[in-house]
Structure 1
Amino acid sequence: MGGSATDEERPGSAPRCLPIAEHGLIGDLRSVALVGTDGTIDWYCCPSFDAPSVFASILDAKRGGCFELAAAVPATTKQFYFPDTNVLITRFFTEDGVGEVQDFMPISGEKVEADRHRLIRRVVCVRGSIPFSVRVAPRFEYGARPHTLRMISGVALFQTAALSLALTATVPMEADGPDARADFKLAEGESAVFALDQVGGEVQPRGCARLEAEEQFTTTVAYWRRWLSASKYRGRWREMVHRSALTLKLLTYAPTGAMVAAPTTSLPEELGGVRNWDYRYMWVRDAAFCVYALLRLGFTGEAEAFMEFVTRHVSPGDGKPSGPLQIMYGIDGRTDLPEAELDHLEGHRGSAPVRVGNGAAEQLQLDIYGALIDSIYLYDKWAKPISSDQWDDLCALVDWVCEHWDQPDEGIWETRGGRKNFLYSRLMCWVAIERAIRMANRRGLPADLPRWRQCRDTIYRRIMSRGWSESRQAFVQHEDGDVLDAAVLMMPLTKFIAPTDPKWLSTLDALTHDLVSDSLVYRYDPTASPDGLRGDEGTFSICSFWYVEAMVHAGRIDEARLAFEKMLTYANHLGLYAEEISHTGEQQGNFPQAFTHLSLISAAFNLDRALG
């Protein structure tokens, strides 16, 4: 791909690959960038979440590409978010001064500017003087496609047939093979600006002067603060709850209202393992839970945008069947998400394979009906009533559930070890029907209520008889089995069972004994319940927050609060969480994970209310 020196080739330099948690997140509601604590952008896809990467050194330090910007002398660093925003500040402390890099992506309602996908890196020396160095080394198409670099009137133009990026700066840059470099020194009060734009068509290269960068900084800060001001949460954990809300907003694709499960692919659930998946899509389940969390806080706009996506792409009508629903969609609503492995990338810290696309899109997961209809029920109750057409679509979904709930599926954890009669899938089918009955009764809407009630009650009896293990004295993972599964923590949270029911309290005790480690909760034991994959995984953070909430409802408030406070200590320095936590306390899996942050919001809300 050109003649630039790689990190490995530089004298005295070793390949860098920061841990997953050593990153912050910025974005423009179309894509995001991960910025390491050393000031390097390690992940960026342009122009959208699920586009091929431009920077992917988090997956391969040599071939992935990166945007380095750091003090050129030994420095310690600290990162924080500008208060109540998604503007990220990385500070460099050196012997001769203190500097900072302000990273953000402006959010524009104007189409041409939105299509620019501008990424601004503003460098400021706040004390003394500091030399800085910058290297911009894009590697297009996940590092597989060579590009050309042309320096034109101070603009570095990186080009492939599919994508062109223009880098402008307020300091002189020079070409270094396929990369652009600069070295500069700032004295106290001085600044430099780097702006990376997608260009082509109506979007032409345009510099970003210091004054414009300052104006864009102010505008971006104002946007995020204005958005966050709609939050109704005033509880004890306001900072963590609001950081989670800001993160969920960053995972929203504004053009369609879709929400991605995470903005990354193939960050491993176990270092060196194969449980590496692409999460840059809209899972119906995850997005529906996000709607619940954001509605809890008072953000109705995101819920409305999600409802529009559901109506357009998911609900029956226009020839679309009422089932089985596809479990995930592209952020533009597409249904074809073929899974492939990128053999030329070594994976995060050697954790291959790197995958793009997701074969789980073809799985049967019956639980998504419950998550979807519950979110519609809450939207109808807390935001605004659904339309008559939307009600007709919902009825078609419920009728399908009534006909098809009694079959094995792959379940919430997307196991690849064969279909089973998962209790959680049955539970959420019950939720789908029960919430629809509530809506019909509350609004007097037409429905086949006798049939719905009979089916709801049949599912209830089935769970209570075949989902309960006498030997374990607990509700279990699948019918007629004895394996425990943290997904059953949702039983009291969905109001299926009273949170103080003796059978539930016995289940909670069994889960605590078998799956909980220092407040952290494993999904299940893969040795007791093979899931078709080799290797282990960490504790699953959404389950840890479900556990907190289940204890709150069971009246174990002190235990719940301690478990919640412990979970907060596992967040990274910015309050962000990946999907899992390793036995050493490290973040594992795709990052940041919507599932984790939405469950944090729900747990904090309910715990705070219980504490009074």
Structure 2
Amino acid sequence: MTRYYEFLSNGITSALIKNGSVEWLPLPRFDSSSIFTKILDEERGGYFSISPVDEKYEVIHEDYIENTLILRTIFKSEEGKAEVTDFLPLSLAGIIRIYESEIDLKVEIKPFFEYGLITPAIIKARRGLIFRNPKSKEGVEILIGGEYIPIDDTEFVLKKGKGYIYLLYSKDLRYGLFSNKGFVYSEPYEALNKAIRYWRRRLENAKKVNMYVDAYYRSLLVLLGLIYEPSGGIIAAPTTSLPEIIGGSRNWDYRYVWVRDASYSAEALIKAGLLVKARDIIGFLTAMIDPSSKSFDHPLYTIDGTAPPAEEILDWLKGHKKSFPVRVGNAAYMQIQMDVEGAYMNALYEYYNASKDSEYISEIWWAIEAIAEWTKKSWKWKSTDLWEQRGVEEHFTHTKVMDWVALDRASKLANELGYKNEAEEWINVAEEIKKDVFDNGYSEKLGYFTRYYGSNSVDSALLTLPLYGFIDAKDPRFLRTFEKIERDLMISDGLLLRYKDDFMGNVKHPFALVSTWLSRVYIRLGEVDRAKKVIEKLINCSTSSLLLAEHLDQNTCEPRGNFPQAFPHAGLIVAIVELEERLV
């Protein structure tokens, strides 16, 4: 397992930390500009580090406090040990770092506003520092609880003992930590205890599992940590522009709510028995539905449900390990993706199956009707697909299957609510779509389902056909497709490419989510041992703290792409639960 960044969240924003250094922290929320951006530029990104003054030290422990998103780091030098506990206080745009040390600690705080672009004005306070954005009233305040000696404006030494560093962002410093209002903000040690209880309680009602317990709970915590609590929207990942290929340009901003990713995440939480949080996600998505045109006008939304900003390049940043460009915003917002309605409808149907909450389904009948009517008239159109290739539209087989899913699930829910006419009408169209897929998405000549109509290639999305009940996993047509996928896309046991190439050239690294699909197919084929091996491969390829990125380096298993990613964690949860259900 690789030691990589650790992920902190408070349901408002997130941070990435490595070896005592905060190197990513957008404030005040997930999709804001970052004040620490070293992960995207070693030189001018900015960071907040704590380490022993004695440079001959090692990090002997860096892991979460049990089932929380609170990090404990232990340093050791010849002079002694130091322990630092890092967490994002609930409901606040900031970070608290509590230390207990036998040795002196060096602290460097070098924030910049607007992703490293704007150097702050520095004001010394009685017990700390204020970093003010010269272009606005916003700023970051640093309150130091403990004995310290200043070195310069951004560095100081914490004397051995106990204490804390409290960093709080304020949109207007007149209401900040050092203002007359400062007394209302959390007291650090009390805030820590509340955060520990908060995260532990979030998992209390989760379905218990007997296998892969640590990976299961860590994956649940990642999903819960990616939810923006004020709205219920769940972001795809907390980072931007971590590259799929080091030195390459496949660098995207994932700090938005994708309909598809959010639907998968809701399904995972439903499988785990966390129905309330799943319903929060579904509620956010439902609020995005347009009943007068395409149900989801866009494939992604901001965390408050508004339009994402236009994609732009931050050309003053060199990129992670010099992987340029660094992008914010996401141009996929402009794509017309026809599969997302099916993803939403499947999540809604799974919620109903688990909860039998007919009152909720009845309340949002308008959304079900809107999606069914849209899918009825649009399913014959070309579209981009779940892989979001830019400028590429085809009759993608997976997309057509998701059109079938949308109408199949809508019909089932209509039956449950007593709308018999609609149920019959929608299932008839669903059967028409299924026939079309068998006629055009399956090639009799080649003997397998193809990536899109008329193609001779496959993609890993075809693994989902039996997962949605479109075809039996043991159907010879699927089995031949499965063999083709394994032959063409498998990099090593359990790790697959999503496809071979796209509009940007060849794909290099396995896509972590599709390993979970592979495992679930094996479960349906009764090949439990192979399913286990895939899950174990994915866990072994996760970081030392069981976090997964979008991709895995095919040679080293190191994380590639944005991190941590909701997709593989959601898939892993579902695979583990389905495996346990199979073994009962």
Shorter-chain TM-score bucket reads over 0.9
Counterpart Cα distance in 2 of 1:388 and 1:546: 32
Matched, 1:64 2:45: yes
Counterpart Cα distance in 1 of 2:282 and 2:532: 34
Q: 5 Å matches for 1:113-192?
A: 114=91, 116-125=92-101, 129-160=102-133, 161=136, 163-170=138-145, 171-172=147-148, 174=150, 176=152, 179-186=153-160, 190-192=161-163
Deviations 1:109-141 (A, max 9, x none): xxxxx3x4231001112xxx3221000000110
Report SS of the residue matched to 2:104.
strand
Q: 5 Å matches for 1:439-518?
A: 439-445=413-419, 447-516=421-490, 517-518=492-493
Report SS of the residue matched to 1:63.
coil
Flag the 1:196–1:20 CA change in 2: closer, same or farther, 3 A.
Answer: farther
Q: 5 Å matches for 1:72-151?
A: 72-73=53-54, 74-77=56-59, 78-107=61-90, 114=91, 116-125=92-101, 129-151=102-124
Counterpart Cα distance in 2 of 1:483 and 1:352: 30
Report SS of the residue matched to 2:40.
coil
- Shift in Å at residue 49 of structure 1? 0.5
* Structure 2 partner of 1:380: 352
Counterpart Cα distance in 1 of 2:263 and 2:3: 26
Report SS of the residue matched to 1:560.
helix
Q: State which of 575, 579, 600 in structure 1 corresponds to 2:546.
A: 575
User: Which letter maps to 2:52?
Assistant: A
Matched, 1:242 2:217: yes
Consecutive unaligned residues in structure 1, runs of 5 or more: 1-18, 108-113
For normalisation by structure 1, the TM-score amounts to: 0.90
Report SS of the residue matched to 1:142.
coil
Flag the 1:162–1:436 CA change in 2: closer, same or farther, 3 A.
Answer: farther
Deviations 1:157-210 (A, max 9, x none): 11111521100112336373xx52111332xxx3120010013354443789xx
* Structure 1 partner of 2:268: 293
Deviations 1:478-523 (A, max 9, x none): 0121111000110010011111111112211211111112210100
- Shift in Å at residue 607 of structure 1? 1.5
Q: 5 Å matches for 1:163-562?
A: 163-170=138-145, 171-172=147-148, 174=150, 176=152, 179-186=153-160, 190-199=161-170, 200=172, 201-205=174-178, 212-312=187-287, 314-317=288-291, 321-323=293-295, 325-383=297-355, 384-385=357-358, 386-445=360-419, 447-516=421-490, 517-526=492-501, 531-534=502-505, 536-562=507-533
Segments ≥4 residues shifted beyond 4 Å: none
Counterpart Cα distance in 2 of 1:387 and 1:598: 23
* Structure 2 partner of 1:40: 21
RMSD, aligned CA: 2.0
Contact residue 27 and residue 94 of structure 2 kept, 8 A = no
User: Which letter maps to 1:561?
Assistant: K
* Structure 2 partner of 1:8: none
Counterpart Cα distance in 2 of 1:610 and 1:393: 34
Flag the 1:138–1:548 CA change in 2: closer, same or farther, 3 A.
Answer: same
For normalisation by structure 2, the TM-score amounts to: 0.94
Flag the 1:493–1:173 CA change in 2: closer, same or farther, 3 A.
Answer: farther
Flag the 1:490–1:574 CA change in 2: closer, same or farther, 3 A.
Answer: same
Report SS of the residue matched to 2:129.
strand
Matched, 1:602 2:574: yes
Report SS of the residue matched to 1:133.
strand
- Shift in Å at residue 443 of structure 1? 2.7
Flag the 1:596–1:549 CA change in 2: closer, same or farther, 3 A.
Answer: same
* Identity among equivalent pairs (%): 32
Contact residue 21 and residue 577 of structure 1 kept, 8 A = no
Flag the 1:299–1:205 CA change in 2: closer, same or farther, 3 A.
Answer: farther
- Shift in Å at residue 417 of structure 1? 4.5
Contact residue 273 and residue 535 of structure 1 kept, 8 A = no
Contact residue 154 and residue 173 of structure 1 kept, 8 A = no
Report SS of the residue matched to 2:154.
strand
Equivalent residues, number: 570
- Shift in Å at residue 93 of structure 1? 2.0
Deviations 1:26-65 (A, max 9, x none): 11101000011x1100100000110011101000011111
User: Which letter maps to 2:582?
Assistant: A
- Shift in Å at residue 471 of structure 1? 4.4
Flag the 1:223–1:203 CA change in 2: closer, same or farther, 3 A.
Answer: same
User: Which letter maps to 2:275?
Assistant: T
Contact residue 31 and residue 46 of structure 1 kept, 8 A = yes
Counterpart Cα distance in 1 of 2:445 and 2:361: 48
Moved more, 474-483 or 430-439: 474-483
Counterpart Cα distance in 2 of 1:555 and 1:358: 40
Report SS of the residue matched to 1:278.
coil
Consecutive unaligned residues in structure 2, runs of 5 or more: none
* Structure 2 partner of 1:5: none
Flag the 1:417–1:280 CA change in 2: closer, same or farther, 3 A.
Answer: same
- Shift in Å at residue 442 of structure 1? 2.2
Counterpart Cα distance in 2 of 1:447 and 1:329: 34
Contact residue 21 and residue 578 of structure 1 kept, 8 A = no
Counterpart Cα distance in 1 of 2:3 and 2:397: 33
Flag the 1:162–1:202 CA change in 2: closer, same or farther, 3 A.
Answer: closer
Counterpart Cα distance in 2 of 1:275 and 1:570: 21
Deviations 1:446-478 (A, max 9, x none): 652343122101110111121113344221110
Contact residue 21 and residue 587 of structure 1 kept, 8 A = no
Report SS of the residue matched to 1:98.
strand
Deviations 1:262-314 (A, max 9, x none): 000000000011100000000000001111100111112212222332233x1
User: Which letter maps to 1:419?
Assistant: E
Moved more, 360-369 or 231-240: 231-240
Counterpart Cα distance in 2 of 1:292 and 1:268: 27
Counterpart Cα distance in 2 of 1:377 and 1:544: 24
Flag the 1:447–1:80 CA change in 2: closer, same or farther, 3 A.
Answer: farther
Counterpart Cα distance in 1 of 2:150 and 2:505: 47
Deviations 1:51-103 (A, max 9, x none): 01110100001111100111222222121110111111111122222222100
Matched, 1:23 2:5: yes
- Shift in Å at residue 321 of structure 1? 2.8
Report SS of the residue matched to 2:463.
helix
User: Which letter maps to 2:398?
Assistant: Y
Flag the 1:606–1:505 CA change in 2: closer, same or farther, 3 A.
Answer: same
User: Which letter maps to 1:123?
Assistant: Y
* Structure 1 partner of 2:30: 49
Contact residue 25 and residue 33 of structure 1 kept, 8 A = yes
Counterpart Cα distance in 1 of 2:421 and 2:239: 42
Contact residue 274 and residue 535 of structure 1 kept, 8 A = no
Counterpart Cα distance in 2 of 1:162 and 1:248: 33
